[in-house]
Structure 1
Amino acid sequence: MSTTTFSPVAANERIVTLDVIRGVALLGIFLMNVEFFNRPIADLDAGLPLGVTGIDHWAGWFVHVFVRGKFWTMFSLLFGMGFAVMLTRAELAGRDFFKPYVRRTLALAVFGALHYILLWAGDILFAYSIGAAFLLVIFHARPKVMVFIGVAAIACGAVLGGLTAAGVAKLPWPPFLALGVPVLLLGVCAWALRRQPLKALRNLGLMLYLVPCLGLMVVGALSPQVPQAERDRVALSEAATPAKQAEVRKDIAETQKARKEHVDEIANEARVMSKGSYAEALAWRVEHFPKQASQDVGFALFFVTGMFLLGAWFVRSGLMANPGAHLDVFRKLALFGLPMGLGISVIAAAIATTHLPGQNDALFQFSMGLSLLGNLAACLGYVGVVVLLFHSRWRAWVAPFAPAGRMALTNYLTQSLVGTLFFYGYGLGHYGTGRAWQVLFVVVVFAVQLVVSRWWLSRFRYGPMEWLWRSFTYLRLPSMRQQRLQPA
C-alpha cells in the first residue's frame, strides 16, 4: 500500500501528543474499571446498580454518562494509531513489519491472558490482541481467498442448518457460520482497503463500530415494550394446541433457568471476590477465561477492529503526523463530537440506566445501542479537546499525562494489581466501597502514577512491561537506562 502522500514529520512531537492522549485515556479507563473492582464482572452490562442514593448515585451517574465507554474506545483508537506508526516507519525504512508485529500481538495475548487469570477478570488486552490479529489479516490477507472461504463456510452452515431443521440429522452447522461470517467480513474489508487505501480505513472503521450499535437500537425499538411475564402470558393464551402450550412452557422454563443461573453467577463472583482467598479467585478466573476469550472474538471483530482502523486512518491521513498543522480538524471534533456524544449519552441515560431483566429488556437494549453510538462521538471529541489543549497555552495542564501514557501497559496492569489488592477479600477487603470513594481512590492512585511515571522515565527509557513487550517484539534486549551526556 503506497504511503507516498504522507510525510510524517516532527516525530518527537507526534509521540508526545499520542502519549498525552494515552495518559488521559488511562485515567478514564481507571475511573470506569474501579467500579468492577467492587462489583461482579458478570454484572458489567446491567448499567447502574439499584438502590444507590446521594453522592454515590451522582458519582456513578457522572462516570456512566461522561466516562464509561468513552476511554476504552480512545485507547483502541490509539492502538490503531500505534499500528499505523509502526507500519509507516517500517515501510519508510524498508524493514520487515509482519513478523515483529505477529510477535507483538502474541505477546499482548499472553499479557492479556495472564492479566485476566492472575489479577482481574476485566481485562481488555486479550481482546486487543484478537483485534490486532484481525488488523493484520485485513492488511496482509488475499481478499479473494478470504471471501471465497467465508462464502463457502456460510453456505455449508446454511445447508447443514437446513438439514438439521428438516429433521434429516443433527448436523454441526454453527461452527461453519462462526468461521464464515468473520472471514467473509475481514475479506471484504481487505478488498476495500486495496481499492481505496486511505478512505477505506475511515469508512470501514466507522462501519464496523456502528453496525452493532444500530443493530442493538433496531432490535430494541422493534421488540415488544412489555414485561416478560406479560409476553409469556400472551404466548400461552395464543397457543392453539396442548402440544404448542407445552412448547411455550418449555421455552419459558428455559428462559427462567438461564436468568436464575446468571443471578447465581453474579452472586458467586461477588462472594469469591469479596470474601474468598486468592486461590479461590484464581480458580474462578481460570474456569471463566475460555468463555470470556470466546466472547472477546465478537467484541474485537466489530468494536475493537473498527476503532483500530479509525486510529490507523488518523495517522495515515497525516492528522497525527503533525497535529499542530491540523488544529482546525481537531477543533471541529471537539465542537461537534463532544456535545453530540455527551448529549446522546444523556438521552440514553434518561431512557434507561439500569437493566431490569424481564421488565425493560427492549428499552435497555435500545439505550445501550444509543450509548455506544454516543461513546464514539464523545471519544473523538475528547481527543480533539486534548490535542487543542496540548497545542495551546494550557499545554502545561495536559503535558504531565505524557509519562503515564508512555508507560500505559505498566500503569494499566498496576491499576489492576493495586485495585484488586485494595478492594478484594484476599487483600485489604474494601469490596463494595461507595462510588464516590471509588472516584477519590482513582484520583489518588493515578496522581501517584503520574509522579512515579515521570520519575521512572527520567532514569529509564521504557516502563518495565513496555521493555518486556519491546524485547519480545524485536527479539533483542534494548538498553533500559537513559544515556546521560558526560561532562567535557
Structure 2
Amino acid sequence: MTDAALPTAQADRIGELDIIRGFALFGVLWMNVFGMGGFLVPEDKIHGLTQLETLEKVVGYLSGLLMAGKAQALFSLLFGFGFAIMMDRIGKQGGDGPKVYLRRVLILLALGVAHASLIWAGDILNAYAAMGLLLMLTRRWSARWLLATGITLAILAPMAVMIFYQLTTPVGQPPAFVPMFEAASEARWPIVMGRDYPAFVVAMFKALFTEYYTQPIALGYFGAILGRFVIGSWIYRQGWLQQPGRYVTGFAIVAATLIPLGLLIGLRRSMMVAMEIEPAPWAIGFVRGLGPTSELLQAIGYGALLVILCQSPPVRRFLSGLGSVGQMALTNYLGQSVFFFVFLYGFGFGLLPWMGPTLSLAFAIVVFALQIVFSRWWLARYAYGPAEWLWRWATYGAKPALRRA
C-alpha cells in the first residue's frame, strides 16, 4: 500500500459531518423501530399503549412528519459527500481512488446482504453499496451535471413510479404490491416472534430481496438514493462544509427555507383532507410522489441547522455526543440491529408488540443514549470504531493503528 491510499487521518475529519451523521443515525434508529409495523410485521400486531390513544396518535403523526424518510435522506447525502472527499483526497495524492473505492463498496455490499439476511431486513447498506457502484460513474462530471442529475433522480424517480402505479391500478384498488406486502408481513409475524432462526433468516432474505426488490416501487427507492448521493457529491464541490464558519448566513437561509417548505409538503394530505379537496385522478400519483421531495428538503434543512448550531462552542459541546456516535456510524448502525434482535424479536424479550409510536421513541432514546456512552468510552481509547477499523483494514490492505497514542 502506498501513502496515496492511506485512509483519512483523524485530524482531517469534519466535525460537523460527524454530528450530522450522529443525528441521522438517531433518526434511522427511531424510524426503524417505529416502522416495523407495516414493513416487517403487520401493523395491527403492534398495539402500543392502548390506554393512551391520544398520545399515540399525536406522537405517531409527529414522528412521520418530522423524521420518516428524512434521516435516511440525510445519510444518503452524507454518503455522496464522503465519496467526493475520498475521490478528491486520493486523487490529489496520486492514488487510484476508483480502485480503493470499489473495494470499499464491495465490502459494504457483502456486509449489507449479510446484515439484511441474518438480523434486519430493513438494512440500508446493501442498497447504498449497489448505488455507490453507479455513483463512481459521476466522479468526473461537472458540478452543473451533478446537481441536475441529482435533483432529477431524487425527486422524479420515485414520483414516476407512483404515477406508473396510478396509471396501471384499477380505480378504487390499491397497487398490486400492497396486498402482497400485507400477506408477507402476516406470514412473518410468527417467525419474527418465534425462535426458529433458520426460518427467520429465510424470511429476512425474502422480505427484502425477493419481495421488495422485485417490485417496480424499488426503482423509485434506488433512484432516490442515487440522486441524493449525487447531490451530496455536488455539495462537497461547493466547499461550504469544509469552511462552515464562512457560510453561516447561507446555512441559515437554507434551514429557514427548506425545513418549513418540507413540512408544508409533508402536510399536503392533512391539508387536503381539512379543506375537503380531492385530487384529480390524473394527479393522485403526483401528489403521492411528493413524499421524497419533502424528505430531501427537510434533510438538507436539518443538516444546515446543525451546522449553524455547531458554530456556538457551548452548543457544539452539547452536541458532541452525536459526533461520537457519528464517528462510529457503521458500528452503531449494526449495533442497533443487535438491540432489535435481543429486545424486540421472539429470540429475546419479545417487546415488539408494545412498540407503538410512544414506546418506539422511548426505546430509540434509551438505545441511542447507551450508544453515546459507549462511543465516548471507546473513542477515548481507540482511533476507530470496531467495524470502521475492520472496514478500513480490508479497504486499504493494511492494518491501521487502533489504539490511541
Q: TM-score, normalised by structure 1?
A: 0.71
Describe the SS at the equivalent of 1:327.
helix
TM-aligned CA distance change 1:361 to 1:482, over 3 Å: farther
**Partner of residue 181, structure 1:** none
Query: Which protein has the larger Cα radius of gyration, Structure 1 or Structure 2?
Result: 1
CA distance in 1: counterparts of 2:393 and 2:213, whole angstroms: 25
Describe the SS at the equivalent of 1:447.
helix
- The 8 Å contact of residues 14 and 323 in structure 1, kept in 2 or not, is answered as no
CA distance in 1: counterparts of 2:137 and 2:385, whole angstroms: 29
TM-aligned CA distance change 1:289 to 1:213, over 3 Å: closer
The alignment yields a C-alpha RMSD, in angstroms, of: 3.1
2:339 pairs with one of 402, 415, 418: 418
1:280 pairs with one of 194, 199, 210: 199
Unaligned stretches of 5+ in structure 1? Answer: 1-9, 141-192, 230-254, 353-359, 484-488
Describe the SS at the equivalent of 1:459.
coil
Percent identity, please.
32
Describe the SS at the equivalent of 2:384.
coil
Describe the SS at the equivalent of 2:267.
helix
**Partner of residue 291, structure 2:** 371
CA distance in 2: counterparts of 1:466 and 1:14, whole angstroms: 14
- The 8 Å contact of residues 216 and 366 in structure 1, kept in 2 or not, is answered as no
Check if 1:30 corresponds to 2:29.
yes
Check if 1:462 corresponds to 2:381.
no
Where does 1:149-228 land on structure 2 (aligned, <5 Å)? 193=141, 197-215=142-160, 227-228=172-173
Check if 1:405 corresponds to 2:326.
yes
Check if 1:107 corresponds to 2:107.
yes
- The 8 Å contact of residues 37 and 419 in structure 1, kept in 2 or not, is answered as no
CA distance in 2: counterparts of 1:221 and 1:119, whole angstroms: 34
**Partner of residue 481, structure 1:** 403
- The 8 Å contact of residues 83 and 312 in structure 1, kept in 2 or not, is answered as yes
**Residues 121-172 of structure 1: CA deviation (Å, up to 9, x unaligned):** 00110000011100113337xxxxxxxxxxxxxxxxxxxxxxxxxxxxxxxx
- The 8 Å contact of residues 217 and 370 in structure 1, kept in 2 or not, is answered as no
Where does 1:37-48 land on structure 2 (aligned, <5 Å)? 37-41=36-40
Matched letter for residue 264 of structure 1 = A
Q: Please report how far the alpha carbon of residue 328 of structure 1 lies from its aligned counterpart in structure 2 after TM superposition.
A: 2.0
- The 8 Å contact of residues 337 and 380 in structure 1, kept in 2 or not, is answered as yes
- Mean Cα deviation higher: 296-305 or 469-478: 296-305
Describe the SS at the equivalent of 2:104.
helix
Matched letter for residue 400 of structure 1 = G
**Partner of residue 188, structure 2:** 269
- Mean Cα deviation higher: 216-225 or 401-410: 216-225
Describe the SS at the equivalent of 2:69.
coil
Q: Please report how far the alpha carbon of residue 91 of structure 1 lies from its aligned counterpart in structure 2 after TM superposition.
A: 1.8
- The 8 Å contact of residues 130 and 300 in structure 1, kept in 2 or not, is answered as no
Check if 1:17 corresponds to 2:19.
no
- The 8 Å contact of residues 150 and 231 in structure 2, kept in 1 or not, is answered as yes
Matched letter for residue 31 of structure 2 = M
Q: Please report how far the alpha carbon of residue 97 of structure 1 lies from its aligned counterpart in structure 2 after TM superposition.
A: 0.5
CA distance in 2: counterparts of 1:106 and 1:383, whole angstroms: 28
Describe the SS at the equivalent of 1:280.
helix
Q: Please report how far the alpha carbon of residue 327 of structure 1 lies from its aligned counterpart in structure 2 after TM superposition.
A: 1.5
TM-aligned CA distance change 1:14 to 1:388, over 3 Å: farther
Equivalent residue pairs, number: 381
Matched letter for residue 308 of structure 2 = L
TM-aligned CA distance change 1:363 to 1:56, over 3 Å: farther
1:340 pairs with one of 255, 261, 276: 261
TM-aligned CA distance change 1:375 to 1:409, over 3 Å: same
**Partner of residue 445, structure 1:** 367
**Residues 25-46 of structure 1: CA deviation (Å, up to 9, x unaligned):** 00111111012445543769xx
Matched letter for residue 382 of structure 1 = Y
Q: Please report how far the alpha carbon of residue 103 of structure 1 lies from its aligned counterpart in structure 2 after TM superposition.
A: 0.6
Unaligned stretches of 5+ in structure 2? Answer: 1-8, 274-279
- The 8 Å contact of residues 220 and 364 in structure 1, kept in 2 or not, is answered as no
2:234 pairs with one of 296, 313, 335: 313
Q: TM-score, normalised by structure 2?
A: 0.85
- Mean Cα deviation higher: 298-307 or 461-470: 298-307
